[in-house]
Amino acid sequence: MKIIKTLFRVFLFFSTIALHAQEKQDEKIKRSTEVIKEFAGLEENIPAILMRKAEGVVIIPTLINAGLAGVGGQRGRGLAMVKRADGTWSDPVFVSLTGGSVGFQFGLQATDLVLVFTKGSILTSLETGQFNFGGSAAVTAGPLGRSSSASTDTRFNAEVYSYSRSKGLFAGITINGSKLAVDARLNKAYYKNDAPASEIFSRSPSIEDQEIIALRDAVTSLY
């Protein structure tokens, strides 16, 4: 009887952890949707023509940047999505962005970051590994003018464009040199399987998860 009670307690313990992880992932999806909606509400933002060309996006709500005495670092968790051949957006893959830098910088900053990829293969090749910005591909500050005809003059030849909204004080911030990695643990906790990022990106998108549907709709609304 004691063994059964012990096993039941162990089951409850791990069930609680799994439920907490699920709630944490749900909150990350909700916050990512909010970030996209906030970006969409800005007068000058991501050009619609760029989003129509985009093959992938990464959304990092609250990327933390800190710097002191010439040494800095950044850390954030978010979502990656790719545009499928039929124009729909995939289910999200949980990712992390980390980096360090040396140079003139001081302060603390919380940044909502959106990265627009013109080559979706960069994300689909992630699997469970990582992608180095600046090495594999440089990040370019994205042009503004979501509804401006001037944006049509831009060729959008870069592979990755960045857009951010910052709070706090910071100088010398850049994500070149940072690493984007798949968070296999969070993906497993959310999707209840060990599917690699490439499988999540390629399979039929969820049509029942309302949080994911809202996220896809928000991204689509940008163009």
Measure the CA dihedral 163/26/92/80, to 10°.
30
When divided into structural domains, the chain yields a total of 1
CA–CA gap between residue 53 and residue 138 (Å, rounded) = 18
DSSP single-letter state for residue 137: B
Q: Are 97 and 38 in contact (CB under 8 A)?
A: no
Q: Are 46 and 116 in contact (CB under 8 A)?
A: yes
H/E segment holding residue 214: helix 210-220
Q: Are 79 and 59 in contact (CB under 8 A)?
A: yes
Q: Could you report the per-residue pLDDT of 83-95, keeping only the tens digit for each? A: 999 999 999 999 9
Residues of the chain with pLDDT under 50: 1-22, 104, 148-153
Name the nearest CA neighbour of 165 among 177, 157, 173. Answer: 173
Q: Are 212 and 36 in contact (CB under 8 A)?
A: no
Q: Are 119 and 19 in contact (CB under 8 A)?
A: no
Residue 184 domain boundaries: 2-220
The reported pTM is 0.81
Q: Are 113 and 60 in contact (CB under 8 A)?
A: yes
pLDDT the model gives residue 95? 95
Residue 59, both tokens: 């959304």
CA–CA gap between residue 131 and residue 143 (Å, rounded) = 23
Q: Which amino acid makes up residue 176?
A: N
Residue keyed to tokens 């293969």: 121
pLDDT the model gives residue 71? 62
Q: Are 120 and 82 in contact (CB under 8 A)?
A: yes
